[in-house]
Amino acid sequence: MRYTGPKVKLSRKLGIALTPKAQKYMERKPYPPGQHGPEKRRAKLSDYGRQLLEKQRLRFQYAIHERQLRRYYEESSRMAGNTADNLIQLLERRLDTLVLRAGFARTIYAARQYVRHGHIEVNGKKVDIPSYRVNVGDVIRVREKSRRIPDIQESLRQLVQPPPYVEVSKADFSARLLYIPPREEIPVICEVPMVVEFYSR
């Protein structure tokens, strides 16, 4: 089941800001949620606990189900090369992720909703599947009738610098995936090798 609870509380638990609102709260309260959050001494995490935390961090930054993440791991393990790099690259090629990176949405949750509601097209065709895999050279564009949505306009105005592997044109609300990014260019806070260790146990 997909998480639908408070994003700020989840962000403080994971130690990463999942939304701009969570970022503001975490600056004021840089400790875990709960009545004893500031004072409680936290036990040192076991290896398994650390792997589980990193897996949860990765899953919630992409807002996907546990079974989806496991399928991505299984696919990445069958590919040539480093499994951790393959995993993060597969996740980064999701349509909802690239809608976020292109600045059309402020959060992964909003990006997913825009795709689901049919506001996004790929290479001129409407795509409403958030997990749709984007290929190098594909053009993602906000549909003509959806460009008047205030949240999309505001999000694009606030975009300072997209990742180097995404070319954005604010004039026509479009973006293009230039290449499959290496791990160091992907703005995700996670020790991905520990996620691989978790699933390979």
Below-70 pLDDT ranges, the chain: 1-4, 17, 20-43
Q: Where do the domains of the chain lie?
A: 7-91+189-199, 94-179
What's the one-letter identity of residue 62? Y
Is residue 115 within 8 A of residue 99, CB to CB? The reply is: yes
Spacing of C-alpha 38 from chain mean position: 28
Global confidence as pTM: 0.85
SS (H, E, C) the chain: CCCCCCHHHHHHHHCCCCCHHHHHHHHHCCCCCCCCCCCCCCCCCCHHHHHHHHHHHHHHHCCCCHHHHHHHHHHHHHCCCCHHHHHHHHHHCEHHHHHHHCCCCCCHHHHHHHHHCCCEEECCEECCCCCCECCCCCEEEECHHHCCCHHHHHHHHHCCCCCCCEEEECCCCEEEECCCCCHHHCCCCCCHHHHHHHHCC
> What confidence score (pLDDT) does residue 8 get?
73
Tokens of 94: 């999701």
Sign of the torsion formed by the C-alpha atoms of 11, 12, 15 and 21: positive
- How much is the pLDDT for 40? 55
- Domain 7-91+189-199 CATH superfamily: Ribosomal protein S4/S9, N-terminal domain (1.10.1050.10)
Res 21: pLDDT: 65
Fold agreement between 7-91+189-199 and 94-179: no
For residue 43, the model assigns a pLDDT of 65
Q: Can you tell me the distance from the alpha carbon of 117 to that of 50, in angstroms, rounded to the nearest whole number?
A: 36
Q: Identify the sign of the CA torsion 143, 147, 153, 157.
A: positive
pLDDT digits (tens, 9 = 90+) for 68-119: 999 999 999 999 999 999 999 999 999 999 999 999 999 999 999 999 999 9
pLDDT at 79: 94
State how far the Cα of 82 lies from the Cα of 79, in Å rounded to an integer.
Answer: 8
Q: Please state, in angstroms and as integers, the Cα–Cα distance from residue 163 to each residue in 80, 185, 201, following that order.
A: 25, 7, 33
Note the pLDDT of residue 15: 73
At the fourth CATH level, the homologous superfamily of domain 94-179 is RNA-binding S4 domain (3.10.290.10)
